[in-house]
Amino acid sequence: MATVDVPQAVGPFKGWINTISHIVEGGGERDTRACSCDGPSNALAPPKPDSRASVVVGRYSTSNHWSQVVRGAHYSSALHFQPPLRTVPRIFTGLSMLDMGEDAEDSTIRVDSFPQNVTQGGFICNGKSWRDTKLYNLSVDWAAIEKPEWQCGVFKTQELGEPWEKADSVFDHRVVFPRSFTSLPMVFVCFNGFDLRGNWNLRTYATNIDHTGFNLSIVKSDDGDSSTRLWSASVTWIAIPGDEVLKRKDVWMGQFGTARKGEIGGDGSWRGHTDFGFQFRRPPKVFMGLDHFNLSRRRNLRLRAETTNVTVSGMDWKISKWHDTMLKGASVSYLAVDCADR
């Protein structure tokens, strides 16, 4: 069992400690974990007839047998909101579990996650690979957001119009918010897709956060492997007003990760506990996604992030790998959210 090394939170709220969600391991293809309460919990007061969550989070997971998986597979499932939301939400995804083959040409790993056909009643959640990559299974965390004060987006390196494989190992792009925040925002980032060949060492993070935007960085490490190429990467970002977080105490964000050690083979996991910066009114729901992974391309990529014992004040977390996967390090960004309207 490896010891834990929790990175510091990125962005302006550096004193804030890290956290996570409740993730279900296995047990079917969908788990919406929707919260449809409104206001403080009160056993004596009946729920309002139109009570609906303004943020809903969940996870879509596949459970394929390895012998049935084909190269370039595409998986999808229709997910439903109960009850339907008030408006058509914005849907964002993050990768929280990956099981991928290393036998593609030049050990190229390709994965993408995205929503489709979004309505007030639900959407189709997709996870796919392409060409010769074998994607055995994956888990996609998703967040359906109605809050107008949250500014969100997906940045794709392809949008720059130049292939990034010709660029330096550190990629830096300024994301400008559609509207300036009146208070310094918190910014969450995680991967929702990538196309990576060679050395499997990739990281994303946010820096230089101010009222108008932030710098989104993506770092690939060759580790002496001249064949390494990042053909593309896709990153989910969510910006939340900082003063609203401190006043309403309904969302917390952070990061957790493994100890920085050498290659670890065989089954193994890294565990830890984190406290929230305040007490929620009820145990929060959590949206999360990988923001860093460093694994040997000589073995399959098998990596899972999950949490247990989520309470109003904190939670336990675990990052695990299995079989012959060689893990050098990984970290996860998360949003813990009280799903109730105020």
Q: Which two tokens stand for residue 177?
A: 């918010």
Pairwise CA distance, residues 18 & 256, whole Å: 6
Tell me which DSSP letter residue 245 carries: H
* Residue 298 to residue 302: CA distance in whole angstroms: 12
In a domain, 29, yes or no: no
- What is the structure's pLDDT at 111? 97
Residue 144 φ then ψ, to 5°:
-105, 115
Q: What is the pLDDT of residue 160?
A: 73
Query: Is 326 part of a structural domain of the chain?
Result: yes
The DSSP bridge partners found for residue 308 are: 316
For residue 34, being part of any structural domain is answered with no
**DSSP result, 108-177:** -EEEEEEEEEEETTEEEEEEE--TT--EEEEEEEEEEE--TT-EEEEEEGGGGSS-GGGS-SEEEEEEEP
Assigned domain for 28 exists: no
52 vs 202: CA distance, rounded Å = 38
Question: For residue 85, what are its two tokens?
Answer: 């939301």
Per-residue pLDDT of the chain (342 residues; tens, 9 = 90+): 333 333 333 333 332 322 222 222 233 333 333 333 333 333 333 334 344 569 999 999 999 999 999 999 999 999 999 999 999 999 999 999 999 987 777 789 999 999 999 999 999 999 999 999 999 999 999 999 999 999 999 999 887 766 555 555 778 899 999 999 999 999 999 999 999 988 899 999 999 999 999 999 999 987 767 778 889 999 999 999 988 777 888 899 999 998 655 555 556 788 899 888 899 999 999 999 999 999 888 888 999 999 899 999 999 999 999 888 888 899 999 999 998 653
Domain span at 245: 58-337
Is residue 6 in a domain? no
Q: Is 31 inside a domain boundary?
A: no
3-state secondary structure of 276: coil
46 occurs within a structural domain: no
Strands 135-145 and 55-61: what pairing?
antiparallel
Q: How many domains does the chain have?
A: 1
Tokens coding 60? 């879509």
- Residue 297 maps to a domain: yes
